[in-house]
Amino acid sequence: MVSVGSILAMIFTLTAAFFLPIIGAVVLCAAGRLSWRSLITGFFFYAVLQALFRLPVLWLIYKIPAVQSFAYSLVGNALLMAITTAFFETAARFLGGRLVLGRKGRSITPSDSIGYGLGYSIAETFFLMGLSYFGNLMLAFALNQNGLSNYSEVFGQEAAVQVYQVLTGTPALEFAAGGVERIFYTIIQIVLTGLVFHGLRRRSMKPVLLAALAHFLTVFGTAILQPHGVWVGEVYIFLMAMVLLLGPAPMLWPRRKAPVIPEGMEELSAPEEMAETEKTEAAETEETQEEGEPQPSPEEK
């Protein structure tokens, strides 16, 4: 029987990876805070460059006999994943911003970076996770309701036993790791998109290259740390997200400063201060009037 904790962890991952980003994107676009154009562009360019370019290139590389031994090693696999990810995904951001969002003289706004990065992250979730977590959750409910009998009749006894061992033998926290990872990766994707779009606005390649380097380090470090456990990699992804969030992010999305009021034009902050000022001015006026009135002479008294 699949534990309640494992089922709750699967629901958390589905919510964090799929439902929250999609619902949040729709709400923000409907409210006019984000652009549908940037959201759809991010989703489209990730899907196209992954399906038509990066995945076929990786497939060809792993088929070359001369590099297979290196490609299937820990360091070789990490390097190939990191290099292709950094190159193709940075290119996807650059082309999406240049050809779609920045075409015909349209200026790329900081909110475009958020919309594009959010759409990009949603597409990445579909590619990496697919429907596996939906399937795991449905299988968990089915196994708890009917046991292995119905599943083994369709897929065979051996497959049913393997699925059962995976769902019951995997700790609940590992099922939740996917959701935690997607939260941090969404932050990373948005900031990396912001760097590339910042470079497009400034007509500079330095932010673009910085985004590619940061993406390379994220993927390479995660792949190298994978043998040490799921949560070691999650901690590394969290650290990379925090570095990007606290480093370049404030420069890409600066806070609006309150307007500076010129000296002598300060507004009174409270009604009490206004009333006190009026009383003071009235008292000063009365004193001035009294000083200006002629005083009677002793003879007149």
66, 264, 293 from 283: Cα distances, Å: 96, 22, 16
More confident residue, 256 or 6: 6
Domain ranges across the chain: 4-252
Dihedral, 86, 89, 92, 97 alpha carbons, nearest 10: -80
Specify burial of residue 192 (Cβ count, 10 A radius: 0-12, 13-18, 19+). Answer: buried
Question: Of 74-83, 167-176, 206-215, 285-294, which gets the smallest average pLDDT?
Answer: 285-294
Report the pLDDT averaged over residues 170-181: 87
Predicted local confidence at residue 212, as pLDDT: 97
Q: Does 88 have pLDDT greater than 60?
A: yes
Predicted local confidence at residue 41, as pLDDT: 95
> What is the overall mean pLDDT for the chain?
83
Question: Of 49-58, 133-142, 179-188, 198-207, which gets the smallest average pLDDT?
Answer: 133-142
Structure tokens at 275: 């009333």
Report the pLDDT averaged over residues 62-88: 93
Question: Of 110-124, 174-188, 259-273, which gets the smallest average pLDDT?
Answer: 259-273
Q: Does 143 have pLDDT greater than 90?
A: no
Predicted local confidence at residue 301, as pLDDT: 43
Determine the Cα–Cα distance for residues 87 and 105; give it in Å rounded to an integer.
26
Report which listed range, 18-27, 158-167, 246-255, is most confident: 18-27
Closest-CA residue to 17 (of 137, 150, 181, 171) = 181
Report the pLDDT averaged over residues 170-190: 90
pTM, two decimals, is 0.79
Q: Does 134 have pLDDT greater than 60?
A: yes
pLDDT in tens, 243-286: 999 988 887 777 665 555 555 554 444 454 445 555 555 555 55
Model confidence at 142, pLDDT cuts 50, 70, 90, reads: confident
Predicted local confidence at residue 156, as pLDDT: 66
Model confidence at 132, pLDDT cuts 50, 70, 90, reads: confident
Q: Following DSSP, what letter does each residue of 197-218 receive, concatenated?
A: HHHHHHT-SHHHHHHHHHHHHH
More confident residue, 216 or 277: 216
